[in-house]
Structure 1
């Protein structure tokens, strides 16, 4: 029988940029703080490990890159994690100790091939300590394409829990209507949307997703200031003239009819905690079910390629 109520938390914070140890320490302390407030599902922002490099150019112009930018890139690469890896094992131990689900935005270093490509990923950790899955951002936005590769359909992850199905998309993936539909079709009850977008229009997006998917939406963003940027970065000059607050936040929790359960948090670090009544999802779908009675499959159909896209496929040799 599905659990009716669950307490969730959205963490709004930022580590020292490119400093994996800082991010790991914050995850440990803020997870414990949220769990102490009763949270059973705790969500951290987009690429919390090792941070979102807002404002940095990595020494790039159209047609050229410079040595300083390559050094900053190397530093970013060094702060990335492998999935699974040592960091996910530590988070598994933490989740098991506290009996909670953890959802964390990370920069993933893929060692399957060259190890030279990073991905903007989200990891899902269960209360038994297991790595339940990951999602890689399908399309990095704008200049993000210099930093991260493209994910594929094999990581459109949805996780079964005692309180319903959880899953979601990262930041501007949520502006891809077909990607949203691919997630709704998996029966999401709690939709997770970590982001780096602090604009007012993002709040409209969250409320629209909640109304469209008839699901709860948890979104969390980093609250980042210049103090979180190492002054010895080659590209520090890129932000030198910017305002001290580089990202104001805007984490929020929305109900399945589009109303705020936790209003957006701005201009400070913090943790939003709310108790969700999952029966609201059922009631909300009485008059609109985007993949059910409102779907019209006789007119519209979506094909999703959920296979991993590998550059090399090996086959068994025939004969001796």
Structure 2
């Protein structure tokens, strides 16, 4: 059945690092390229727009009140995405025009949290160009906590896409059993895992989640060399001096519902990777194991999810 087949594009590319406007233009070009390859679901890496905060770990980011860290962070904040102000409108319009669903990792600066703190968010845009969920990373990892705020459960949602139900998590969230279970329980059978880049992250967890969930798992990472650090950002020479030659080597891949590779991790190359998957494989592997169906015991163990969008202030009256 044609409805059972889904063509996925994995955008293993480099952002125009920390440049919102130029990176959006690169995303728009990638969407157009994906259309030519008949892609139906296009996925970008974690915080692709406008980029991952590599500088934190290589420039002693934990120094308190340090001018380098403050100035680079301020530049990062100025280039973050404010969805409420229409920053993603052109991307949504191309999604609608070409009928391509999109998972896009962004740095979000949301007005409902005051408009100053930054969140690593995963945005799902459906094939009609409508933003259906914005998942703010629940727990930034290690040095990421110096620049990102922790999110909430509002974006733990799955979405219908042809025969599939697709959901996604950011980077090390994929190691968290309960958020995974939250998506499984909503019928997820195509799991999207986005990463800043590295087969170190994707080569084991991708197959593990696929085997645990009996779902397809698509891991998408960015690719970035030191030479892609632009001169226009604050302290560019200092960051480039401290950076390794390769900041992200890629590692994008797809595992099938049996946990075996459909596309093994692709490293050391930049480009749009395209593969078609068949929903029928999900039913085959659910025959002997289904973590929230016939192989579950909700009478004994059950998960409670708080999907309220967290906010510091609430108002009553005028």
Shorter chain as denominator, the TM-score bin is: over 0.9
**What's the TM-score once normalised by structure 1's chain length?**
0.93
How many pairs are equivalent?
317
Report how far residue 298 of structure 1 moved. Answer: 2.7
How far, CA to CA, are the matches of 1:61 and 1:3 in structure 2? Answer: 48
Root-mean-square deviation (Å): 2.0
Question: Is the Cα contact below 8 Å between 2:159 and 2:165 reproduced in 1?
Answer: yes
Cα deviation, 1:137-182, whole Å, max 9, x if unaligned, reads 0000001011111111111121122232111111000111111111
3-state SS, counterpart of residue 14 of structure 1: coil
Q: Is the 8 A contact 1:59 1:70 kept in 2?
A: no
1:87 positional shift: 2.8
Q: What whole-Å deviation, never above 9, does each CA across 1:45-103 have from its counterpart, x for those lacking one?
A: 10011011224359666561212221111110111111244232111110111111111
**Any idea what SS the aligned residue of 1:289 has?**
coil
Match of 1:99 in 2: 99
Report the secondary structure of 2:241's partner residue: coil
The structure with the greater share of residues assigned to helix is 2
Query: Which of 143-152 and 302-311 deviates more?
Result: 302-311
* 1:57–1:235 CA contact under 8 A, matched in 2: no
In 1, the alpha carbon distance for the partners of 2:197 and 2:13 equals 14
Task: Find runs of 4+ consecutive structure 1 residues off by over 6 angstroms.
Answer: none
Aligned to 2:50: 50
Structure 1 residue matching 2:138: 3-state secondary structure: coil
CA distance, structure 2, for counterparts of residue 69 and residue 63 of structure 1: 8
SS of match in other structure, 2:252: strand
Please name the residue that 2:297 is paired with: 296
Q: Structure 1: how far apart are the matches of 2:15 and 2:69?
A: 21
Contact in 1 for aligned 2:229/2:240 (Cα 8 Å): no
Residue aligning to 1:21: 21
Instruction: Supply the distance in 2 between the matched residues of 1:63 and 1:227 (Cα, whole angstroms).
Output: 26
Question: How far is the alpha carbon of 1:27 from its aligned partner?
Answer: 0.7
Instruction: Say which SS state the counterpart of residue 193 (structure 1) adopts.
Output: strand
With over 3 angstroms needed to count, the CA separation of the structure-2 counterparts of 1:107 and 1:70, relative to structure 1, is same
Secondary structure of 2:234's aligned partner: coil
Give the alignment of 1:185-196 within 5 angstroms: 185-196=185-196
1:248 has 2:249 as partner: yes
Structure 2 partner of 1:212: 212
In structure 2, the residue matched to 1:115 is: 115
58 and 68 in structure 1: CA distance in 2 versus 1, 3 angstrom threshold: farther
**Is the Cα contact below 8 Å between 2:255 and 2:263 reproduced in 1?**
yes
The answer to whether the 8 Å contact 2:171/2:193 transfers is: yes
Q: Distance in 1 between matches of 2:57 and 2:70?
A: 11
Cα deviation, 1:97-155, whole Å, max 9, x if unaligned, reads 11111111000011124311111001111221211221110000001011111111111
C-alpha displacement of 1:239? 4.5
Structure 1 unaligned regions, length at least 5: none
Report the Cα distance in structure 1 between the residues aligned to 2:242 and 2:154, rounded to whole angstroms: 41
> Closer, same or farther in 2 for the Cα pair 1:150/1:286, shift >3 Å?
same
Q: Which moved more, 1:243-252 or 1:1-10?
A: 1-10
Change (3 A) 1:63 1:246: closer
The question of whether the paired residues in 2 share the 8 Å contact of 1:59 and 1:67 is answered with no
